C-alpha cells in the first residue's frame, strides 16, 4: 500500500531556526499476523482478552529535511522493520459509583529487536538511525521486562484509571441543550 505525501511541513523554533521536512511515498510491505489466535475474545459479561501473535512487517518512505539556518540537511529513504511481536492482555471492567474502572490481570509481550534505518546522503542519517534503533530497543527491552513483572500491573491499572477519570462523562454541545 502506497500513500503519496504524509508530512510536508515547516516547523519553527522561535528565534532559533525553521525545519522544513517532508515524508513521501509511504509504503507498508510484508505485513503478516498469525491468524490462528482470535484478536479479541469476550469471556463473560465484562472480561476480555486482546491478543495477536507473530506480527511482522515493514515501512518505507522517502524523507527530506533542511534547517534554516542550514545547519542540518538530509534527503533519502527511511526503512523500518518489525521482525516479530506477540502481545496479549486480559482484564475486565467494572462500574463503581457510576465510574468505569479497568483492571488488567495479565500482560504478555514478546518483541524481537526492530531496525530503523535512514539511508540518506548526510552523516546525520547514520547517527539518527543508530540512536533511534538503540534507544527504541532499550525501551522495547524494558517493556518486555515489565510485562513479566506482576507488580507493574498495579501501577498500569492506576495509570489507565487515572486517564479514564480525565475523560468527561458528558460533552455539552454549544448553543444547544444537547450533550454527548
How much of the chain exceeds pLDDT 70, in percent? 97
Residue 180 contacts by C-beta under 8 Å, 6 or more apart in sequence? 170, 171, 173
Tell me: pLDDT of 54 over 70.
yes
pTM of structure: 0.68
Mind listing the domains of the chain with CATH numbers?
2-166 (3.15.10)
- Return the minimum-mean-pLDDT range out of 4-8, 78-82, 151-155, 167-171: 4-8
Distances in whole angstroms, Cα of residue 37 to Cα of each of 45, 59, 112:
21, 24, 19
Give tens-digit pLDDT for 94-116. 888 878 888 888 889 999 999 99
What is residue 137's three-state secondary structure?
Answer: helix
Quick one: which H or E segment has residue 77?
strand 73-96
Give tens-digit pLDDT for 1-29. 566 667 788 888 888 899 999 999 989 98
Give tens-digit pLDDT for 119-149. 999 888 899 899 999 999 999 999 999 888 8
Amino acid at each position: 500500500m502506497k500513500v503519496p505525501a504524509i508530512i510536508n511541513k515547516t516547523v519553527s523554533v522561535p528565534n532559533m531556526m525553521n525545519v522544513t521536512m517532508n515524508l513521501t511515498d509511504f509504503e507498508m510491505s510484508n505485513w503478516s499476523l498469525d491468524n490462528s489466535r482470535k484478536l479479541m475474545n469476550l469471556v463473560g459479561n465484562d472480561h476480555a482478552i486482546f491478543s495477536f501473535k507473530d506480527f511482522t512487517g515493514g515501512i518505507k518512505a522517502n524523507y527530506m529535511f533542511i534547517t534554516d539556518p542550514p545547519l542540518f540537511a538530509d534527503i533519502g529513504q527511511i526503512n523500518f522493520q518489525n521482525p516479530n511481536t506477540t502481545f496479549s492482555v486480559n482484564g475486565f471492567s467494572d462500574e463503581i459509583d457510576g465510574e468505569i474502572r479497568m483492571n488488567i490481570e495479565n500482560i504478555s509481550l514478546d518483541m524481537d529487536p526492530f531496525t530503523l534505518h535512514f539511508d540518506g546522503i548526510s552523516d546525520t542519517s547514520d547517527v539518527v538511525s543508530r540512536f533511534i534503533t538503540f534507544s527504541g530497543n532499550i525501551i522495547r527491552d524494558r517493556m518486555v521486562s515489565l510485562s513479566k513483572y506482576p507488580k507493574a500491573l498495579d501501577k498500569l491499572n492506576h495509570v489507565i484509571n487515572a486517564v479514564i477519570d480525565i475523560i468527561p462523562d458528558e460533552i455539552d454541545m454549544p448553543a444547544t441543550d444537547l450533550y454527548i
